Chain A
Amino acid sequence: DAGVIQSPRHEVTEMGQEVTLRCKPISGHDYLFWYRQTMMRGLELLIYFNNNVPIDDSGMPEDRFSAKMPNASFSTLKIQPSEPRDSAVYFCASNPIEGNTEAFFGQGTRLTVV
């Protein structure tokens, strides 16, 4: 397996524009997580899914953020409208369902909102 795949790797957009980040989890993994990382706040969990269903979205900063998982092999994180304070590295991770095993992270998407 190629691991967790995120796209794009880098995104630069203007304030007010819509941004969509994409994630393909490892096949067979039932849990998918979206994280955000900044220098000031470190790694923060935004939302996670179990079997494509959102379980906990309490980390989503505000209504401008939304996440979907239409099927087991694809998830999106959308920011609309984007703001400069959304600039960060966004990571997607997936876990298999069997017990307390390791999480596999993607390479991340570095988002810059100007």
Chain B
Amino acid sequence: DAKTTQPNSMESNEEEPVHLPCNHSTISGTDYIHWYRQLPSQGPEYVIHGLTSNVNNRMASLAIAEDRKSSTLILHRATLRDAAVYYCILRDGLSNYQLIWGAGTKLIIKP
């Protein structure tokens, strides 16, 4: 399974944009890039996913590099409720639906 690399933690100020990076240099052509987050004492929650093109939804934006070896999750205006661990995961669109989890990035929001 292709692996992802994320910083252990990041800090950001409230109401400012946050850019969470993820490296996935061994990504294959059929791998989708998924982002989940886990708030304290909660189950993981889906944020966004994409294959090649940038994606936007009500929660966030996903910017995917042209070579697909990296991606960035963008929270446009962070709030204290966005403090969580953010996981970048590659998921094979052809073989199965397993999610292989890394350590994620702990996002700290400063008021």
Contact = CB atoms under 8 A, between A and B. Distances in A.
Interface of A: 4, 31, 33, 42-45, 48, 55-56, 91, 93, 95, 99-100, 102-108
Contacts of A107: 42-43
A83 to B, nearest CB: 23
A33 B36 CA distance: 16
Contacts, number: 51
Interface of B: 32, 34, 36, 42-46, 49, 87, 91, 93, 96-104
A50 to B, nearest CB: 8
Contacts of B97: 31, 33, 48, 95, 100, 103
B96 A55 contact: yes
14 contacts: A4-B43, A42-B101, A43-B101, A45-B100, A48-B97, A55-B96, A56-B96, A93-B44, A100-B91, A100-B97, A102-B34, A102-B49, A103-B36, A105-B43
A100 B32 contact: yes
Contact of B98 (A45, A104, A106): A45
A92 to B, nearest CB: 9
A2 to B, nearest CB: 14
Contact of B44 (A43, A55, A56): A43
Contacts of A108: 42-43
Given A33-B99, A91-B43, 16 more contacts: A33-B97, A42-B102, A44-B101, A45-B98, A48-B96, A48-B97, A55-B96, A56-B98, A100-B49, A100-B91, A100-B97, A103-B36, A103-B97, A104-B46, A107-B43, A108-B42
